[in-house]
């Protein structure tokens, strides 16, 4: 076996825990999308083309709630903007890769694929980095798409699933993703601000309340960061 | 069948997501992020996710229901608390699902 193939295989092996961990979410996504009234083809298209877990879950909510197209796109933009940081991190590594491979790398640049690749770069350096990434990302992507299809099939076959409260799966997942970050005062204030605005603005049309709440939450975070920096700068001056 | 609007929504989401991910990888070093943008990005996940969760948890179906008998509210709190304590997302979701299911059966 060539070293390139070995690298691809070890990529697939390293991402296996994340493949297993995200499989339930792929199934829930497919089922939930269909139960919310989206055609199974739309659930598949979201996993095949967009391939971004949290944005896909929110899209169910927005698409079935009659959100306007710009709101859907803007929400996707805000939620996925962090991926630009991953893109910037990988830029020096991928500089000499041919354009089609760089584009494919970008297409698969999820939190999970980035996390596994980043660890590899730190432990093993850049040797066979591309085949390693392709091996891990291809495995992760194929698994996500396949289990979405199975979830969508389930949702289609068992029409009563929506009544079971599958919509709860999404908010439980989001709550579990946010909670561990609420350990210092700034994120707690961001959450309180975003949560209250979201409630008071929830009646706005086209789900505009969501964008408004997110923007005010981020603004609160920026203001608190700014204040802390000024306070620490001031205390440095005092100490001198 | 899928409507044109639905296709437009999904293809637009694809374009937005791909352009973000391709930004530096494909368009190279000409791009620079102002430090203020990088710093504010750190707050985006908490702000967006909380903004989605809160209305759905306290008012499932649009009707405010701040009570111990609201399975969405209790389930969300359970998921959040377990994840906050342990950092295990999947365990938190599974356990909160059980709580949610039991409450759905009870109330």
List phi, psi (to 5°) of A173.
-60, -45
Here the tokens at position A135 are: 């091996």
Neighbours of A94 (CB within 10 A): 21
Here the tokens at position A164 are: 């079971």
Does residue B37 belong to any structural domain of this protein? no
Here the tokens at position B63 are: 């009707």
Distance between CA A176 and CA B29 in Å, rounded? 36
pLDDT of A119 strictly over 90:
no
The residues, any chain, with a CB within 8 Å of residue B48's CB and separated by 6 or more, are A58, A75, A78, A79, A194, A210, A214, A217
Q: Does residue B28 share a domain with residue B46?
A: no
Q: Does residue B64 share a domain with residue B23?
A: no
Contact call for residues B66 and A103 (beta carbons, < 8 A): no
Neighbours of A115 (CB within 10 A): 13
Q: Which pLDDT score, from 0 to 100, does residue A82 have?
A: 80
Chain B hits for A181, CB-CB cut-off 8 Å, are 45-46
Chain B hits for A107, CB-CB cut-off 8 Å, are 18, 21-22
Residue A2: left (phi > 0), alpha (psi -120 to 50), or beta? beta
Q: Does residue B94 share a domain with residue B58?
A: yes
Q: How do residues A41-91 score in pLDDT, each as one tens digit?
A: 999 999 999 999 889 988 998 898 888 999 999 989 988 888 888 898 898
Does residue B52 belong to any structural domain of this protein? yes
**How many residue contacts between A and B have a Cβ separation below 8 Å?**
269
Handedness of CA A217, A188, A191, A113 (dihedral sign): positive
Q: How do residues A14-48 score in pLDDT, each as one tens digit?
A: 998 888 878 888 998 999 899 888 999 999 999 99
pLDDT of B32 strictly over 80:
no
pLDDT of A180 strictly over 60:
yes
Does residue B14 belong to any structural domain of this protein? yes
Q: Which pLDDT score, from 0 to 100, does residue B21 have?
A: 96
Here the tokens at position B30 are: 């000409």
Distance between CA A128 and CA A120 in Å, rounded? 10
| Containing structural domain, residue B4 | 1-32
- Where exactly are the structural domains of chain A? 3-169, 182-240
Confidence of residue B62 (pLDDT cuts 50, 70, 90): confident
Tally helices (H) and strands (E) across chain A. 11, 0
Q: Is A199 on the interface with B (CB under 8 A)?
A: yes
Chain A hits for B30, CB-CB cut-off 8 Å, are none
Record: contact A88-B5, CB cut-off 8 A: no
Q: Which pLDDT score, from 0 to 100, does residue A94 have?
A: 92
Q: Which pLDDT score, from 0 to 100, does residue B1 have?
A: 55
With CA atoms as reference, the chain B residue closest to A186 would be: B43
Q: How do residues A194-234 score in pLDDT, each as one tens digit?
A: 999 999 998 887 678 888 998 999 999 999 999 998 888 88
Does residue B24 belong to any structural domain of this protein? yes
In this prediction the ipTM stands at: 0.84
Here the tokens at position A189 are: 């204030």
Distance between CA B32 and CA B52 in Å, rounded? 30
Q: Which pLDDT score, from 0 to 100, does residue A163 have?
A: 64
Q: Which pLDDT score, from 0 to 100, does residue A238 have?
A: 67
Testing the interface with A: which of B49, B55, B85 to mutate, by most A Cβ within 10 A? B49
């Amino acid at each position: 076996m060539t070293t390139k193939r070995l690298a691809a295989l070890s990529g697939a092996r390293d991402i296996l825990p994340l493949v297993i961990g995200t499989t339930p979410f792929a199934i829930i996504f497919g089922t939930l999308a269909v139960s919310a009234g989206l055609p199974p083809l739309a659930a598949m298209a979201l996993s095949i083309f967009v391939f971004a877990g949290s944005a896909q879950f929110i899209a169910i909510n927005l698409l079935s709630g009659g959100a306007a197209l710009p709101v859907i796109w803007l929400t996707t933009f805000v939620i996925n903007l962090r991926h630009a940081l991953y893109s910037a991190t990988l830029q020096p590594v991928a500089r000499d890769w041919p354009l089609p491979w760089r584009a494919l790398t970008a297409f698969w640049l999820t939190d999970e694929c980035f996390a596994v690749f980043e660890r590899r770069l730190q432990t093993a350096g850049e040797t066979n980095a591309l085949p390693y990434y392709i091996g891990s990302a291809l495995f992760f992507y194929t698994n996500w798409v396949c289990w979405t299809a199975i979830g969508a099939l389930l949702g289609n076959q068992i029409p009563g699933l929506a009544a079971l409260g599958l919509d709860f799966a999404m908010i439980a997942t989001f709550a579990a993703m946010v909670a561990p970050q609420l350990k210092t005062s700034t994120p707690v204030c961001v959450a309180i601000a975003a949560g209250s605005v979201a409630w008071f603005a929830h009646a706005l049309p086209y789900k505009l309340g969501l964008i408004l709440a997110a923007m005010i939450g981020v603004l609160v975070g920026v203001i608190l960061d700014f204040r802390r920096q000024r306070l620490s700068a001031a205390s440095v001056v005092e100490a001198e | 069948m899928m409507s044109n609007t639905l296709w437009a929504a999904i293809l637009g989401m694809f374009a937005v997501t791909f352009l973000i991910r391709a930004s530096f990888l494909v368009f190279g070093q000409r791009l620079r992020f102002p430090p203020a943008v990088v710093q504010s990005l750190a707050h985006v996940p908490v702000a967006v996710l909380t903004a989605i969760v809160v209305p759905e948890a306290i008012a499932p179906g649009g009707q405010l229901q701040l009570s111990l008998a609201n399975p969405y509210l209790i389930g969300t709190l359970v998921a959040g608390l377990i994840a906050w304590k342990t950092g295990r997302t999947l365990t938190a979701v599974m356990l909160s699902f059980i709580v949610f299911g039991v409450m759905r059966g009870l109330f």
